[in-house]
Amino acid sequence: MDSQHIAPGKLWAVGLGPGDSELVTFKAAKAIAGADVVAFHCARHGRSVALSVAEPYLRTEGQIHERLMYPVTTETTDHPAGYRGALDDFYTEAAEVLARHLRAGRSVALLAEGDPLFYSSYMHMHKRLADEFDTEIIPGVTSVSASAMATGVPLVEGEETLTVLPGTMPADELVRRLRDSDAVAIMKLGRTFPKVLAALEEAGVADRAWYVERASTPAQQVLPVRDVDPATVPYFSMVIVPGLLNNPIQTTGEPAMGEVTVVGLGPGADRWTTPEVQAELARATDLVGYKTYLSRLSPRPGQRLHPSDNRVESERACMALDMAKRGARVVVVSSGDPGIFAMAAAVLEVAAEPQWSDVPVRVIPGMTAANAVAAAVGAPLGHDYAVISLSDRLKSWSVIERRLHSAIDSDLVMAIYNPGSGSRTWQVGALKDLLVQRLPADRPIILGRDVGGPEQELTVTTVAELDPDVVDMRTLLIIGSSTTAVVERAAGRAVFTSRRYSPT
């Protein structure tokens, strides 16, 4: 028959699963047995893990075995376009080898370890062949599933999420992704294992991380990651970090040690809560904080909330550290940024005591109210500024006055936190009296109340026009310096302090 009239063969992308031949699906076994050509990738040594997995399903005769040998694996290359260029050329040449079989009317089963569309070399063939030939993809059990099975530990539950990471990604990105995820599978180990282990330690998840080598095969090994000899780690290995809902941190007979993370939600709008903070909130077993701040959260099922009054910072810190010492992952919630007149200092001050010295404490930043108020009117914090709290609950008013005078003497913009409350009603009046004595009457003052929240109010006024009665605990004041300008523009008012300093 004229070759022009031969119907092209069909391409089967056959997922073999993680290594155990008994985990090959019925459909995959049927495709392997029925194919005219069985193709497989291999390194330069010529051996193929994929072919060995498929061996029970190969025909004993009348079947072509097409070996697609990589020109490089981990070694260097003299290809003018480097490693990537060498592989691109190889994939193009390998696709043409398969295309010749398909054009000749032969069906081709291209073997893929795991699943063909999950970190598989098959994808490079698919991009080059699927538009021309009839193609069918047979999914396979992934190495992630097999490795999770090998640990015998539940991987994810409920609303937890699973993140799959390649060990080849940059170390700082690995740390960030590990901190932002509930459960994690890390692939492509081998020589990357020391970097991966360091990232697990830095992210604080090494205690519950497992190393799985050659999952589902007779050579399978499962170890805590800290027990692994980095020099022995092959490419076909994986790190599994199970979620926390049903997986307490590994122990050796001692009580599990959790951690305390202090976070800032931002000043009011949910959009100002950072993804890093959201990830910490999602992973927490316990949420601790002032009841007003906790009311901004939507806890997931199983999380325990511990609301309290706003005047018991030390007690709140002790409770959080005690729960962490007993294995809980505790998040202490602040508004704004936790390190600015908030819970980070309170927790660390208590954590400095000997009985808490072994409890890990981390602080995750958030947007602070001063930045939110400043941005809402322009850039009044564009030059040097001082941040001062008017609360005299933990320091005397005489100290506050002295600091206000020092900031004025230095011609600094001032961001004033905690101006008043139900029990502190005279401080803003005293502040105005001081400002009237020391500053020009037309010096700009910005009042930002509930910025980012549903009751946001912004007022640009002056020292002479400041009304203490409109200032409450939810208000932040920004008092301008001699170089702070209020400019009326056609597009709207702008307040800014120049980065150049030329006092008037």
- Name the CATH architecture for the domain at 144-241: 2-Layer Sandwich (3.30)
Nearest Cα residue to 199 out of 172, 218, 221: 172
Average pLDDT over residues 136-154: 92
**What is the pLDDT at residue 301?**
66
- pLDDT tops 70 at residue 19: yes
Which helix (H) or strand (E) covers residue 479, if one does? strand 475-479
- Name the CATH architecture for the domain at 3-141: 3-Layer(aba) Sandwich (3.40)
CATH of 370-497, picked from 3.40.50.460, 3.30.950.10, 3.30.70.100, 3.40.50.300, is 3.30.950.10
**CATH 3.30.950.10 in the chain, residues?**
144-241, 370-497
Degrees to nearest 5, angle at CA 373 with 495 and 441 = 50
pTM over 0.75: no
**What is the pLDDT at residue 247?**
59
Rounded to an integer, what distance in angstroms lies between the CA atom of residue 55 and that of residue 68?
17
Rounded to an integer, what distance in angstroms lies between the CA atom of residue 48 and that of residue 43?
8
Average pLDDT over residues 486-498: 94
**What is the pLDDT at residue 113?**
93
Q: Which residues contact 365 (CB under 8 A, 6 or more apart)?
A: 264, 274, 337, 338, 339
Helices (H), 143-253: 143-151, 171-180, 193-203
Token look-up 């119907």 returns 7
Q: Give pLDDT tens digits for 153-174.
A: 888 887 788 999 999 999 999 9
Token look-up 């913009």 returns 413
**What is the pLDDT at residue 417?**
96
Q: Taking the domain 259-364, which CATH number applies?
A: 3.40.1010.10
**CATH 3.40.1010.10 in the chain, residues?**
3-141, 259-364
3-state class of 362 per DSSP?
strand
**What is the pLDDT at residue 504?**
65
Give the pLDDT band of residue 355 (cuts 50, 70, 90). Answer: very high
Rounded to an integer, what distance in angstroms lies between the CA atom of residue 303 and that of residue 298?
10
The pLDDT mean for the chain works out to 90
Q: Give pLDDT tens digits for 245-291.
A: 655 544 444 445 789 999 999 998 888 999 889 888 888 889 999 98
- pLDDT tops 80 at residue 83: no
- Cβ-contact 69, 48 below 8 angstroms: no
**What is the pLDDT at residue 440?**
97
Q: Give pLDDT tens digits for 209-257.
A: 999 999 998 889 999 999 999 999 998 899 999 987 655 544 444 445 7
CA 91 and chain centroid, separation: 34
**What is the pLDDT at residue 152?**
85
205 or 374, higher pLDDT: 374
Q: Give pLDDT tens digits for 378-401.
A: 999 999 999 999 999 889 999 999
Q: Give the rounded percent of residues in the chain with a pLDDT score beyond 70.
A: 94
Give the pLDDT band of residue 74 (cuts 50, 70, 90). Answer: low
- pLDDT tops 90 at residue 10: yes
Amino acid at 304: R
The conformation of residue 4, written as its DSSP 8-state character, comes to G
Rounded to an integer, what distance in angstroms lies between the CA atom of residue 321 and that of residue 178?
23
47 or 374, higher pLDDT: 374
Q: Give pLDDT tens digits for 21-46.
A: 999 999 999 999 999 999 999 887 77
**What is the pLDDT at residue 429?**
95
